[in-house]
């Protein structure tokens, strides 16, 4: 059954990428419908959970530094317009690595070139400023005072609500796997409806491989990722901002967020887990995963050695082979676009991704080759962190 209206653009997926794409296309006068199977910021999405880090540092990958800076500006503007500026928490972001880290050196060079405020505290300064952290093996650091945390699922909902206010139509619907040839004129839902549009944007994260199995099934790698919230000691503010910033241990492949909204210290290991199905994977952490994170927290935060785990999340990354985004046309369905491959670092970039795709669709701007489908391999060789 057709809805009767044909839109300029149909966007499938209401995560950070899809919501911002719909919003920015609507701001430019296009009629847009946004479809989402489970709801904005839902618990199975890569844009769910309570928080996401927004940081400028990306080693030598300057494009992501510039996109982060642009995105932070647009996130702040959105939150101000929605009268909820607390959806960005300026905690500062602290990068930590071994002495002489080449990646931190490259990060500092790019931050300086892009005009991003930062400092490079030495080991003695780190120990004085953050006595709650064990800095064993750490010899270099970068601190970004203007960076911090986006309150993720609520930030996505704010973007969707703003899009609706701009005239975007929203539908909770499961989109079926599309056909494989010719220009697409409509998409069908599991409820039997059909939605027509001139252009179709599939921004459905870890579901991209399921929607386009022949083309993306072996180019998008959804992996299981566990997140833990550690209960902080009663009456102790050492693990809350401003006493503790958001942190990334490059040496350990770990990251964390301080105790925001009294939820506990969020900590996770930034290592790719097992490949999973985003619809059906277990969202329960295993005893082995609990044991691993307890040992790590006890090592880096000795005061939390006996801390209870007050909350856990199991989500997923949707990795490309390199960690670069996938933003490109379908090679055969020329009015179909892929927007995904967030690879664990994409959430913050939602506004910049939406601007980039709008530029591709409406202005014919030249594409960035590193986002092209042809650059996505079938074997993971991660280069973007």
Per-residue pLDDT at 179 = 75
pLDDT tens-digit map of 331-356: 999 999 999 999 999 999 999 999 99
Tell me the pLDDT of the chain averaged across its residues: 96
From the list 95, 94, 97, 93, the residue with the least C-alpha distance to 137 is: 97
CATH of the domain at 241: 3.30.9.10
**Can you give the pLDDT at residue 31?**
98
Write the pLDDT tens digit of every residue in 236-288. Answer: 999 999 999 999 999 999 999 999 999 999 999 999 999 999 999 999 999 99
Q: What is the pLDDT of residue 3?
A: 55
Question: Do 128 and 229 fall within a single domain?
Answer: yes
Report if residue 76 sits inside a domain. Answer: no
pLDDT band at 4 (very low <50, low <70, confident <90, very high): confident
Domain final position from 278, 294, 318:
318
Same domain assignment for residues 208 and 242: no
Residue-range definition of the domain harbouring residue 206? 1-50+151-220+320-385
Same domain assignment for residues 138 and 203: no
Is the pLDDT score of 158 beyond 90? yes
328 and 380 share one domain: yes
Query: What is the model's pLDDT at position 254?
Result: 98
pLDDT tier, 226 (very low <50, low <70, confident <90, very high otherwise): very high
Same domain, 345 and 299: no
Tell me how many domains the chain contains. 2
Q: Both 279 and 325 in a single domain?
A: no
Q: Are residues 8 and 123 in the same domain?
A: no
Q: Is 59 part of any domain?
A: no
The CA distance from 282 to 180, in Å, is 31
State the Cα–Cα distance between residues 88 and 105, nearest whole angstrom: 27
Task: Taking residues 122-131, report their average pLDDT.
Answer: 98
Question: Domain of 193: which CATH number?
Answer: 3.50.50.60
Residue 13 lies in a domain: yes
Residues 227 and 216 in one domain: no
198, 257: one domain: no
pLDDT at residue 183, rounded to an integer: 81
Residues 262, 385, single domain; the answer is: no
pLDDT of 24-35, one tens digit each?
999 999 999 999
> Based on the domain organization, do 97 and 36 belong to the same domain?
no
């Amino acid at each position: 059954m057709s809805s009767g209206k044909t839109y300029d653009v149909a966007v499938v997926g209401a995560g950070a990428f899809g919501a911002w794409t719909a919003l920015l296309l609507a701001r430019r006068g296009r009629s847009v419908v946004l479809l989402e199977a489970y709801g904005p910021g839902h618990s199975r999405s890569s844009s769910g959970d309570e928080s996401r880090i927004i940081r400028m540092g990306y080693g030598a990958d300057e494009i992501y530094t510039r996109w982060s800076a642009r995105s932070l500006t647009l996130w702040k503007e959105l939150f101000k317009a929605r009268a909820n500026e607390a959806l960005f928490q300026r905690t500062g972001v602290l990068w930590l690595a071994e002495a002489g880290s080449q990646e931190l050196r490259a990060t500092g060079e790019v931050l300086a070139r892009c005009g991003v405020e930062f400092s490079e505290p030495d080991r003695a300064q780190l120990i004085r400023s953050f006595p709650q952290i064990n800095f064993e093996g750490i010899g270099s650091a970068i601190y970004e005072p203007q960076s911090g945390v986006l309150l993720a699922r609520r930030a996505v909902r704010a973007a969707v609500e703003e899009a609706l206010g701009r005239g975007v139509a929203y539908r909770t619907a499961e989109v079926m796997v599309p056909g494989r040839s010719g220009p697409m004129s409509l998409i069908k839902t599991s409820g039997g409806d059909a939605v027509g549009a001139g252009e179709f944007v599939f921004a459905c994260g870890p579901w991209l491989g399921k929607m386009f199995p022949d083309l993306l099934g072996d180019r998008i790698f959804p992996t299981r990722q566990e997140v833990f919230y550690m209960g902080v000691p009663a009456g102790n503010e050492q693990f809350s901002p401003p006493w503790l910033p958001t942190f990334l241990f490059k040496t350990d492949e770990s990251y964390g967020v301080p105790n925001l909204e009294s939820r506990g210290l969020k900590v996770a290991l930034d290592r790719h887990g097992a490949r999973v199905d985003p619809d059906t994977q277990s969202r329960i952490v295993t005893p082995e995963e609990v044991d691993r994170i307890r040992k790590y927290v006890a090592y880096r935060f000795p005061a939390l050695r006996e801390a209870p785990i007050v909350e856990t999340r199991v989500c997923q990354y949707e990795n490309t082979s390199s960690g670069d985004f996938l933003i490109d046309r379908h090679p055969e369905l020329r009015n179909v676009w892929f927007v995904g491959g967030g690879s664990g670092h994409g959430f913050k970039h939602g506004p910049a991704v939406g601007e980039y795709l709008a530029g591709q669709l409406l202005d014919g701007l030249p594409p960035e080759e590193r986002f092209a489908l042809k650059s996505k391999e079938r074997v993971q060789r991660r280069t973007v962190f």
